[in-house]
Amino acid sequence: MEFVLLLVRLALAAVFAVAALGKFADRAASRDALERFGVPLALVGPMTLALPVSEMVVAGSLVVVASAAWAAVAAAALLAAFCVAIVRLLARGEAPDCHCFGTLSSAPVGRGTLARNLVLVGLAAFVAVAGWNRAGESVSTLAADLGVAAIVLGAAMVLHAAFSLQLFRQNGRLLDRIEALEANAGQRLGEASSPVLNRGMPAPSFALPDLDGRIVRLEDLLAEGSGALLFFTDPRCGHCDPLLPVLAARRDGPPVAVISRGSVQANRAKAGVHGLTPILLQDDFEVAGAYRAHGMPGAVLVDQAGRIASGVAAGADDVLALLRTSAPSALHLAHVEGAA
Q: pLDDT tens digits, residue range 163-181? A: 666 666 656 656 666 665 5
Q: Residues 18, 142: one domain?
A: yes
Same domain flag for 222 and 329: yes
Residue 193 counted as domain residue:
no
Residues 14 and 142 in one domain: yes
On whether residue 24 sits in a domain, the answer given is yes
C-alpha span between 247 and 251 (Å, rounded):
9
| pLDDT at 98 > cutoff 80 | no
Does 119 share its domain with 38?
yes
Residues 81, 326: Cα–Cα separation, whole Å: 49
Residues 114 and 238 in one domain: no
| Same domain, yes or no: 16 and 164 | yes
Whether 250 and 318 map to the same domain: the answer is yes
Separation between Cα atoms, residue 227 and residue 27, nearest integer Å: 40
pLDDT of residue 29: 73
Q: Is residue 197 domain-resident?
A: no
212 and 160 together in one domain: no
Q: Is residue 48 part of a domain?
A: yes
Measure the CA dihedral 107/110/116/121, to 10°.
Answer: 120
Residue 202 lies in a domain: no
Q: What pLDDT does 280 receive?
A: 95
**Of 123, 150, 171, which residue sits at a domain end?**
171
Q: What is the pLDDT of residues 111-125, one digit of tens each?
A: 888 888 899 999 988
pLDDT range class, residue 36, cuts 50, 70, 90: confident
Tell me which DSSP letter residue 109 carries.
-
**Residues 6+ away with beta carbon under 8 Å from 118:** 83
Statement to judge: residues 137 and 212 lie in one domain: no
Residue-level pLDDT at 195:
57
Q: How big, in percent rounded to 5, are the helix, strand and coil portions of the chain?
A: 60, 10, 30
d(CA 219, CA 15): 49
Find the domain containing 290 and state its range.
Answer: 207-336
> Is 196 inside a domain boundary?
no
Residues 156 and 255 in one domain: no
Domain count along the chain = 2
CA distances from 279 to 101, 282, 333 (A): 31, 10, 21
Percent of the chain with pLDDT over 90: 20
Shared domain for 22 and 150, answered yes or no, is yes
Chain mean pLDDT for the chain: 78
| DSSP labels, 19-31 | HHHHHHHTHHHHH
On whether residue 93 sits in a domain, the answer given is yes
For 139, other C-beta atoms within 10 Å of its C-beta total 8
pLDDT tens digits, 290-304: 998 887 899 999 999
Q: Is residue 35 part of a domain?
A: yes
- 220-252 b/e (C-beta count within 10 Å ≥ 16 → b): ebbeeeebbbbbbbbbbbeebbbbbbbbeebee
Residues 294 and 152 in one domain: no
Give yes or no for a contact between 16 and 55, defined as CB atoms under 8 angstroms apart.
yes
Q: pLDDT by residue (tens digit) across 123-137?
A: 988 888 887 765 434
Give the pLDDT of residue 162: 62
Identity of residue 19: A
